[in-house]
Structure 1
Amino acid sequence: MYIRDISHYIPSQRVTNQYFADLNGLTNEWIVERTGISERRKAGAEENTATMALEAVKALEKQVDFPLQQVDLIVGASYTPYDTIVTLAHKTQHYLNATNAAVVYISSACSSFLNAMEIVEGYMAMGKSKNALVVLSEHNTAYHNEHDHKAGHLWGDGASALLVTKDKPTTPSLTVKEIFTRGAAHVGRGLEGVTLRPLHGGIEMPYGKDVFLNACSYMASATRDIIERNNYTLDDLSYLVPHQANHRITKNVAENLKLSPEKAISNVQYLGNTGCAGAAIGISEHWHEFKNEDKIVVTVFGGGYSYGAMLLVKE
């Protein structure tokens, strides 16, 4: 299958590190040293997970020469929903009037992007879809605790939308060579490392070191695995797009794989951790920089724990 095009939406409101210095004494230097984050984006008072998703879909509409109302599958992904029943996927179907689309919602923390792509892969393999829309959106600032010294300063908001087709488009696209995901709930602090309990404190990360160590390890190994299974070497890799959780994690994974820093796409420094949308936003930001035959690996690690990788080739 093929990623025919991709878009993203980022809220306009910027929250710099000075905000947290004034709020709870966390200095710019302290935050940058530990996370690489200088600022993050925050949804406005009238925005939410669904409205940001629709903005990304509207941006995609302007980019593609395909009527999105004709998609036959919509997969929405988020762990920060505005509505747990009328999900961002349903909102997208309503907006597009996509009358013949199956509608699915997936929530598997920051691995949701790849899980959503696997759902599309499954539908297409069974002959149930030819043109699918994947919509990713996170409203982390609706759930985070700004006063939490461990994780309150990490989170940002944003959304992305992808048109995925079973048949190869006539325009340049990204061929999805392979996707795989795995659960790792049995490892370390898998059930406690990152939690979001809306009635009990929102997003919390009490075991950040465990999350850091496992994210670095699993994203590096997933990248190696998918590259080797497809008969490439790490020298063949043009870009690595890791989950945008922490710039230290990105640098650690790149160093582990012996990749030059410029090959690792990162937006966490100016967007914060935008959850399952972060890696997709990174692809969208660099879409026009990818050259023919570029090999791109997206690798993720999510709370819970879970991990995976997707190999893309520009064709």
Structure 2
Amino acid sequence: MTRIISRVAGQGAYLPERVLTNAEISTFVDTSDEWIQARTGIRERHVAADGETTADLGHAAALAALADAGCGVDDIDLIVVATTTPDLVFPSTAALIQNKLDMRHGAAFDVQAVCSGFVYALAVTDGLLKGGVFERALVIGAETMSRILNWEDRTTCVLFGDGAGAWVLERAKGGKAGLVGYDLRSEGRYSGLLKTTGGVSSTQSSGVLTMEGPAVFKHAVTKISNSMERLIEREKIAIEEIDWFVPHQANQRILEGVADKLKISRDKVISTVAQHGNTSAASVPLAFHQAVNDGRIKRGDLCLLEALGGGLTWGSALVRF
């Protein structure tokens, strides 16, 4: 029986034009470039312009991914968007992007797992493609995290940025390239560690982001490492076979902590946290895009993706590009 896989046909990304540096933040918050870099590794982040929405960012990334895949909107029959900062409560950001693409067929919906969203979206899309329900999908991680920050809280406002990344996944028969496997987890008892202060049902507002940083750091290193260990053991892959480690870009110390715990060479770690900050569900595809563009990740490379976000949610995915 021929094995069905979800192959990465193309990928793309988009970052807002405005760059917000640590030095600029230090003009209105009690912080400094040295303080931020020492604790997070972040130097700057991109911030969406007034009137520029998550759907706008996701649409631009989608167009880049379609161009990279050499296909058009008519070739896509599914859009899955991972976001925690949607344009509207409803309709979904995916539906808004579908309209921006002038796509009049197929299906579109959002996935909400905060920073783990893109990994979750890959898993959901993989199941739908392998099940034969759809043939080719746009999987998008897009965020405007700047819209839910308290810009007076130096412990959180320095961490996040805006951006979007997208993949074209297609159903294919045979071959080795594609989504190899994934591991997804969540634990709602830790929901208070990383959350917003509001919501439609509770406060009729979005509120602002709050985080217990040290606790999240501790959970991130342990839970992400455990997820990746489960995944590579299940898929019978040795850690030495991994060509590139593409983590969620939350904090440089977390990236290095996870790599060291699993004995992954730091030379194999793709890090864009210095330039992008934490772009939540967009961070993994943004980092992947940069590494493809600069020639590090090549076709045939085996990549290990991971993320942890509010929920707490976390997960990992193995992809042979």
Give the structure-2-normalised TM-score.
Answer: 0.91
* 1:262-313 Cα shifts (integer Å, max 9, x gaps): 2111111111100011011111111243235422100111111011110012
Residue identity matched to 1:231: K
1:313 to 1:61, Cα distance in 2 relative to 1, 3 A: closer
Residue in 1 aligned with 2:245? 240
Contact 2:11 2:66 in 1 (8 A): no
1:231 partnered with 2:241 = no
Q: Deviations over 1:73-96 (max 9, x none)?
A: 111110011112122211221122
Aligned match of 2:290: 285
Are the counterparts in 2 of residues 40 and 271 from structure 1 also a CA contact under 8 Å?
yes
1:216 to 204, 217, 221: 221
Deviates more, 1:218-227 or 1:297-306: 218-227
Q: Are 2:40 and 2:253, in contact at CA under 8 Å, matched by a contact in 1?
A: yes
How many residue pairs were aligned? 308
User: 2:314 aligned with 1:298, yes or no?
Assistant: no
Q: 1:285, 1:252 → 2: CA distance? A: 22
Deviations 1:19-39 (A, max 9, x none): 222212211111111111011
Q: Distance in 1 between matches of 2:259 and 2:160?
A: 22
**Aligned equivalent of 1:109, options 107, 114, 127:** 114
Q: Alpha-carbon deviation of 1:260?
A: 1.6
Structure 1 range deviating more: 243-252 or 21-30: 21-30
Partner residue, 2:197: 197
Match of 2:51 in 1: 46
Match of 1:308 among 298, 307, 315: 315
CA separation of 1:169 and 1:31: change in aligned 2, threshold 3 A: farther
One-letter amino acid matched to 1:228:
E
1:231-266 alpha-carbon deviations (Å, 9 max, x no partner): 121111111111111111001111111122121111
Q: Please, which runs of 5 or more residues in structure 2 have no aligned partner?
A: 1-5, 199-204
Any residues of structure 2 matched to 1:94-173 within 5 Å, and which?
94-167=99-172
Structure 1 segments unaligned to the other structure (5+ residues): none
1:183 aligns to what? 186
Instruction: Quote the Cα distance in structure 1 between the aligned partners of 2:223 and 2:259.
Output: 12
How does the TM-score come out when normalised to structure 1? Answer: 0.93
Q: Which residue number in structure 2 is paired with residue 35 of structure 1?
A: 40
Q: Which moved more, 1:124-133 or 1:207-216?
A: 124-133
Provide the rounded CA distance (Å) in 2 between the counterparts of 1:69 and 1:143. 35
Q: CA deviation at 1:45?
A: 1.2
In structure 2, the partner of 1:273 is 278
Look up the SS of the partner of 2:172 in the other structure: coil
Residues 81 and 110, structure 2, Cα contact 8 Å, conserved in 1: yes
Q: Which residue type is aligned with residue 197 of structure 2?
A: R
| 1:128-151 CA distance string (max 9 Å, x none) | 111111121100011101111221
Displacement of 1:169 after TM fit? 9.9
Select between 28-37 and 282-291 the one with higher mean Cα deviation: 282-291
Q: Partners in 2 of 1:183 and 1:266 — Cα distance?
A: 24
RMSD between superposed Cα atoms in Å: 1.8
When residues 111 and 181 of structure 1 are mapped into structure 2, their CA distance, relative to the original with a 3 A threshold, is same
Letter of the 1:109 partner, please give it.
V
Tell me the alpha carbon deviations over residues 153-173 of structure 1, each in whole angstroms, 9 at most, x when there is no partner.
111000011110011599xx9
Kept in 1: contact 2:306–2:317 (CA 8 A): yes
Counting aligned pairs with the same residue, the percent is: 28
Q: Which amino acid aligns with 2:208?
A: G
Could you tell me which amino acid in structure 2 is paired with residue 304 of structure 1? G
TM-aligned CA deviation for residue 174 of structure 1: 4.7
**Which residue of structure 2 aligns with residue 87 of structure 1?**
92
User: For 1:103 and 1:169, how far apart are their aligned partners in 2?
Assistant: 27
Distance 1:277 1:26, change over 3 A: same
Q: Is the Cα–Cα contact under 8 Å of residues 93 and 101 in structure 1 kept in the other structure?
A: no
Q: CA deviation at 1:112?
A: 0.9
CA contact (8 A) 1:70 1:100 kept: no
For residue 185 of structure 1, report the CA deviation from its aligned partner.
2.1
Partner of 2:3: none
On the 8 A contact 1:135/1:159 being kept in 2, the answer is yes
SS in 2 for 1:176: strand
Which residue of 3, 8, 14 maps to 2:13? 8
In structure 2, what is the Cα distance between the partners aligned to 1:52 and 1:258? 35
Q: Which amino acid aligns with 1:193?
A: L
